[in-house]
Amino acid sequence: MDNVHTLIDKLKTEIQDGKSAEEIFEFLKPFLGRHEETDVQVADVLATLAHPAAAGLLVRMLAAGGSKKLAKAVKRSLYRLKGRGITVEAVPPDQGESIFRAPKGEPPRGFGSGIDSLGERFLLLALPRPGRGWSVIQAGVSDTRGLVNFVGDEMTRKGFRVFMGELKNRFPFPLVDIAPSYVAFLMAQAHRLTVQRDVPPPQDYVRFKADIDGVKKECEKPLVYSYLRIDETTEADRYAKRAGDLLKSDVFAGWVIETEQIQPYADAVSQAGESKLILNAVQKEARIQEVYQKALSDLFSGKRRALYERRLAEMADVLFKLGREEEARVSLAAAMDLEKPMNPFQPNPFLLQLVMTSVYRHLKDDYEKKVQEPSLIVKP
């Protein structure tokens, strides 16, 4: 299924759920302006939905601006809805100002990176200040430590455009659009965790706390669950079985278990492989698999399991925003699998591969260190 089909299905669901055109447009807006054909397709499909919210979305798309082809498609769809008896609200007088050129009065914007192996990510929240430009809030957040760093600054509209261009060019990981209300929620959540750990929050957070609280919306689950649906009876297991391959993806580069946590199991694998007992290859492999199962049981139960469920769900959101829907579904299916009780006979494929990869890297690093150590034996 293409991204556009998933996007359209989500819009239909939002309309059926009774959400307002304004609320739905906030979801739709980050996807607009990327591909003209996608925008036109969305406009065409909205004409088939005989509902005032569909007309409201089209009006907002027209007011936001864009290509002439898109404007023509939107007007055509509005005409069709009028013909079906749907009331169409008047187009705002600022029609033609594009949401992609940061016009005056533009709503907040949010951006974020993927998550690294320590559960840390970069977030950015931009809040418009009428007549003064933007307040730009940057934060490094950790799902175990809270706010890693935090800084807020005021920028002119031009300065903000230049800043975002430079940031995306030099940032080591891809940044994706994230609903500003969710970015604010993640920042507030990190702040709460910092306070719970009795660590003083960054001074800048106190300065911008009211702004963040004014934008955020509480979320029980990661945002991806609201728009990317996987049928638990027919799709979830099929996608989850492929989750081990996610560690080959560039966005999961560097994902390993911390050295102090994986070392006991790496040592046990090494001992099993070098055992002086008379064991055949099958017996040695069975011992190694026992070590992996023990690592899974010891390291990924309770809160830590829930931690990885959320990490994988957040990465599914990032992958989807990057246009990699198939990987996004695999990541989300792996997250959904972690909501189930641990099954030693059918371990989570992602966590099993993470343990195996971490053990291998630890043994490889340990071997390379030993090879580089100077020998005390002097050859004659």
**Residue 7's pLDDT is what?**
80
**Residue 291's pLDDT is what?**
93
State whether 159 and 246 are in the same domain: no
* pLDDT tens digit sequence for 281-340: 777 788 899 999 999 999 998 899 999 999 999 999 999 999 899 999 999 999 999 999
**Residue 351's pLDDT is what?**
96
Please, which residues bridge with residue 378 across strands?
none
State whether 61 and 156 are in the same domain: no
State whether 320 and 343 are in the same domain: yes
State whether 8 and 92 are in the same domain: yes
State whether 250 and 364 are in the same domain: yes
**Residue 265's pLDDT is what?**
94
State whether 209 and 175 are in the same domain: yes
Looking at 99, 132, 153, which one is the last position of a domain? 99
In a domain, 84, yes or no: yes
Looking at 81, 99, 117, which one is the last position of a domain? 99
204: domain range? 109-215
State whether 241 and 366 are in the same domain: yes
State whether 59 and 17 are in the same domain: yes
**Residue 160's pLDDT is what?**
93
In a domain, 58, yes or no: yes
**Residue 380's pLDDT is what?**
55
Q: Which residues contact 148 (CB under 8 A, 6 or more apart)?
A: 120, 139, 140, 141, 142
Number of domains in the chain: 3
State whether 207 and 300 are in the same domain: no
State whether 286 and 335 are in the same domain: yes
Looking at 160, 183, 215, which one is the last position of a domain? 215
State whether 8 and 91 are in the same domain: yes
CB-count burial class (<10 Å; 0-12, 13-18, 19+) for 18: exposed
**Which of 110, 251, 105, 102 is closest to 185 using CA atoms?**
110
Please, which residues bridge with residue 129 across strands?
133
In a domain, 228, yes or no: no
CB-count burial class (<10 Å; 0-12, 13-18, 19+) for 359: buried
**Residue 3's pLDDT is what?**
64
Segments of the chain scoring below 50 in pLDDT: 1-2, 94-104
Which two three-digit tokens encode residue 314? Answer: 């957040």
In a domain, 368, yes or no: yes
**Residue 375's pLDDT is what?**
53
**Which of 374, 372, 376 is closest to 364 using CA atoms?**
372
State whether 240 and 366 are in the same domain: yes
**Residue 56's pLDDT is what?**
85
In a domain, 224, yes or no: no
* pLDDT tens digit sequence for 226-279: 888 888 778 888 999 999 999 999 999 889 999 999 999 999 998 876 665 556
In a domain, 149, yes or no: yes
In a domain, 379, yes or no: no
